[in-house]
Each structure stands twice: as C-alpha cells, then as structure tokens.
C-alpha cells in the first residue's frame, strides 16, 4: 500500500500514513519503521499547508486561476499537478484543494496553515506565500548571503 501511495503521489504525507495505518489496522509507528527501512519510500516533511477553495462561489471569482497561480509559485511538477494533494518543488508546502471553505461571502478564499485569507486577488498570491516563508525571494536571499 505504501508503494502504491508513493507511486501515485510521489511522496507519503503524515496524513496519508495515518489513513494507511487505519486501513491496515496497524499502528502508525509500524509504517514509520517501514518507511525508514526502505529508502525508496519518501515521507514528505513539509512545514506548510495551502488549501485553495475550488467551490462554486470561489470558482466564479477566479478560484481556478488562483489555484493555477499557487501551483506556478510553488513550482508544482506538472506530472503531479492533477493529483491531490501536491507537494511544492522545495518540499516545504503541501497544496490541497477543498470544495468549499464555508466562507463563501468573502470569496475567493485561500487557507494557509489553518488561517483563511479572504477576497484573494491573483496579484496577492506571490506576496502571501512570500510573507509566510513558503517561497523565498532570490533577491532577498542573495542580499542576506552578501551580508555574511
Ligand atoms: S465556495 Fe469558496 S468558501 Fe464556499
């Protein structure tokens, strides 16, 4: 089962591991040991979760374009872009979609690490991800390196 998850998503998230353990009726620790035992199995070690609402109301207000922009910013591999959830290229962020975040009046909505951001505009996406340190600005990184 772990190999199938790995083949489909390209990684095994803690959430997937938990579901697999429940489905198999074993403790999660057993699956953790198996993942460590087999280096071909990769456990995702992400620090952030971004959930884009793809519900009807958000969809009518550029929800899908916002999803595309988030994917572009996170450099989500096209190979995995149709799968759920998706891991960013830097491995720091898990991208999910949800049919409705139950805050339709302030559509389009986006959730980062459990906090919902309202009335998101396409041009807000980059700064929001940058502000949360999910992506990094190369210019900022180079300036920081230059000072060391
Ligand atoms: S459709 Fe997006 S919050 Fe309901």
Give the domain CATH number at 57.
3.40.30.10
pLDDT band at 79 (very low <50, low <70, confident <90, very high): low
Is there an atom of ligand 1 within 6 Å of 56 CB?
A: yes
Q: How far is the CA of 5 from the centre of ligand 1 (A)?
A: 29
End-to-end CA distance of the chain: 47
pLDDT of 120 strictly over 90: yes
Q: How far is the CA of 126 from the centre of ligand 1 (A)?
A: 21
Cα–Cα distance measured from residue 24 to residue 88, given in angstroms and rounded to the nearest whole number: 28
Same domain for 33 and 93? no
| 64-89 mean pLDDT | 83
Cβ 53 vs Cβ 70: under 8 Å: no
Domain of residue 32: give its range: 2-37
Q: What residues contact 16, with CB distance under 8 A and at least 6 apart?
A: 5, 9
Can you read off the two tokens belonging to residue 56?
A: 């009807």
Domains contained in the chain, number: 2
Same domain for 60 and 132? yes
Pocket test of ligand 1: the residue of 65, 100, 110 to mutate, having most ligand atoms within 8 Å of its CB, is 100
pLDDT of 5 strictly over 80: yes
Is there an atom of ligand 1 within 6 Å of 104 CB?
A: yes
pLDDT of 71 strictly over 70: yes
Query: What pLDDT is recorded for position 82?
Result: 64
Q: What residues contact 41, with CB distance under 8 A and at least 6 apart?
A: 2, 3, 6, 12, 34, 35
Can you read off the two tokens belonging to residue 128?
A: 């929001």
Same domain for 89 and 123? yes
Task: Say if 89 falls within a structural domain.
Answer: yes
Cβ 12 vs Cβ 44: under 8 Å: yes
pTM of the model as a whole: 0.75
């Amino acid at each position: 089962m772990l190999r199938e998850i790995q083949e489909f998503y390209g990684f095994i998230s803690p959430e997937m591991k938990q579901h697999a353990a429940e489905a198999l009726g074993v403790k999660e620790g057993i699956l953790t040991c198996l993942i460590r035992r087999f280096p071909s199995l990769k456990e995702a070690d992400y620090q952030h979760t971004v959930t884009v609402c793809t519900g009807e109301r958000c969809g009518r207000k550029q929800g899908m374009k916002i999803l595309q922009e988030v994917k572009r910013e996170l450099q989500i591999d096209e190979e995995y872009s149709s799968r759920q959830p998706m891991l960013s290229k830097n491995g720091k962020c898990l991208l999910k979609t949800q049919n409705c975040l139950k805050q339709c009046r302030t559509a389009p909505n986006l959730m980062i690490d459990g906090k919902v951001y309202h009335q998101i505009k396409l041009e807000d996406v980059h700064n929001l991800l940058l502000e949360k340190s999910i992506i990094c600005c190369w210019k900022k990184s180079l300036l920081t390196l230059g000072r060391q």
